[in-house]
Amino acid sequence: MSENPESMIADIIADLVPLKGVRVIAAMSGGVDSSVMAVLLKEAGLDVIGVFLNVWDYSRDEVNGHGSCCSLEDSYDARRVADHIDIPFYAMDMREEFRRDVIDPFIQDYETGRTPNPCERCNRFVKFGALLDAADQLEARFVATGHYVQRRDSADGIHMFKGSDNRKDQSYFLATTSRRQAERILFPVGNLEKDDTRMLARYFKLATAEKHESQDICFIPAGDRIEFLKREGATAGFRGGDIVDTNGNFLGKHLGIAHFTLGQRKGLGLPDGPWHVVALDGTTARVVVAHPEDAMISEVEVGDVSWIRQPRAGESITAKVRYQMQPAACSLQPEGGFEGDGLHLVFDQAQKPTAPGQVAAFYAGEELLGGGIVNKVYSH
């Protein structure tokens, strides 16, 4: 912790003071990050309205959402924080939007052999889609979140950068945010270290100061993806089939492609390993595997591309196609120019595999330029 709370708060508030009196929706998930975000906005003099998004009926789950985000317990915690800092608070019913834009595509992807990223879709369609529509109804200029991402405005518009805390940087999950959306989003904790965020939560005596972080997908709080898919009626993904190598040689049987993700190497139970899953065929129910040296990827086809800032001519670009990977040098080959929504991403050096359905995030140094969704992966 490099600063004491007072000086840290003063620095953050200095950046927000030009927005004093402006109405902002604070998207409060009931966690420590969004709690600190809300109090910082209030301290800076913005007109803050706390909003909790009710996206899932946790009465259906035996664990009642415990350990996830956006559960009933989290709604209660968000309200306690809002009361403590004296801001209006509303719980908004987003279950219909969440079902349509996150859960149904999640199920469909696993049925067809893709590996979805539900957090990305929630950000793009719910938090920065439906919630921005709600902000219009409440006459709010901005939506603010507790994401560890930095926004910096300049004469040529807004720019988004990785969070200061490399361990918590969440820019990858915001890579598909459109420029129109980004212009209305604030990230008050993006330049903080996670430990500093907790320190501020203690300083402000927030009820969430010691709250543990959620680890599971919010609508699968028990972490059992297979049980969730079966309960939701998925069938095609549980049709048995063959496991073969890239030459079509039979290696074993499986109980459904929904049990696998591209790049997976654990739990395959195959002889002469190690093996990596390199293809999932939803039509034939085939799982294709390869040895690690043959599973590396060199090129990725990306769709649904959106830009916060388009690359400049000759600019060095890096990309990551998995959350845990370090951005790697690459070239981008857009289809019909950068105004289109598709491109080919070619890495300078072969990378570990990713899966269709995952996010491809593009960077220039620490700046997040934009991103899209992986549609196809080409082996090295």
User: Is 5-146+188-203 CATH 3.40.50.620?
Assistant: yes
The residue among 358 and 71 whose pLDDT is bigger is: 358
Q: Where are the domains of the chain?
A: 5-146+188-203, 238-294, 296-379
Identify the CA nearest to 305 among candidates 368, 363, 366, 361: 361
Burial of 281 (0-12, 13-18, 19+ CB in 10 A): middle
Higher pLDDT, 2 or 13: 13
Q: Between the CA atoms of 79, 82, 86 and 92, what dihedral angle is there, to the nearest 10 degrees?
A: -70
Burial of 351 (0-12, 13-18, 19+ CB in 10 A): buried
Exposed / middle / buried, residue 331 (Cβ in 10 Å: 0-12, 13-18, 19+) = middle
Per-residue pLDDT at 57 exceeds 80: no
pLDDT band at 23 (very low <50, low <70, confident <90, very high): very high
Instruction: Give the pLDDT of residue 233.
Output: 87
Per-residue pLDDT, 267? 87
Architecture of domain 238-294: Roll (2.30)
Active-site annotation, residues: 122, 218
Of 365 and 63, the structure prediction assigns the larger pLDDT to 365
Q: What is the pLDDT of residue 53?
A: 93
Could you give the percent of the chain with pLDDT greater than 70?
94
pLDDT confidence tier of residue 1, bands split at 50, 70 and 90:
very low
* pLDDT the model gives residue 63: 44
Point out the least confidently predicted range of 65-74, 251-260, 289-298, 311-320.
Answer: 65-74
The average pLDDT across 336-346 equals 85
Q: Which of 54-68, 90-104, 127-141, 226-240 has the lowest mean pLDDT?
A: 54-68
Distance between CA atoms of residues 18 and 13, nearest Å: 9
Peptide bond into 116 cis (omega under 30): no
Residue 351 has pLDDT above 60, yes or no: yes
The per-residue b/e assignment along 117-144, b for 16 or more CB within 10 angstroms, e otherwise, is bbbbbbbbbbbbbbbbebbeeeebbbbb
Tens of pLDDT along 28-41?
999 999 999 999 99
Residue 66 has pLDDT above 50, yes or no: no
Burial of 359 (0-12, 13-18, 19+ CB in 10 A): buried
Residue 325 has pLDDT above 80, yes or no: yes
Question: Taking 90 as the threshold, does the pLDDT of residue 224 lie above it?
Answer: no
Q: Is 360 left (phi over 0), alpha (psi -120 to 50) or beta?
A: beta
Asked if 161 and 149 touch (Cβ cutoff 8 Å), the reply is yes
Res. 58 pLDDT band, cuts 50 70 90 = low
Compute the average pLDDT of residues 133-147: 94
3-state secondary structure of 331: strand
* CATH number for the domain formed by residue range(s) 296-379: 2.40.30.10
CA 296 to chain centroid: 24
Predicted confidence band of residue 215 (pLDDT cuts 50, 70, 90):
low
pLDDT, mean over the chain: 90
pLDDT digits (tens, 9 = 90+) for 275-305: 999 999 988 999 999 999 899 999 999 999 9
Band of the pLDDT at 69, cuts 50, 70, 90? low
Question: If DSSP codes are grouped into helix, strand and coil, which group holds residue 266?
Answer: coil
Q: Give the model's pLDDT for residue 67.
A: 46
pLDDT of 349 reads 96
pLDDT tier, 62 (very low <50, low <70, confident <90, very high otherwise): very low
In this prediction, residues 11-22 reach a mean pLDDT of 93
Q: What is the pLDDT of residue 70?
A: 58
Q: Which of 113, 104, 99 is nearest to 238 (CA)?
A: 113
More confident call, 302 vs 273: 302
Share of the chain above pLDDT 90, in %: 72
Whole-structure pTM value = 0.91
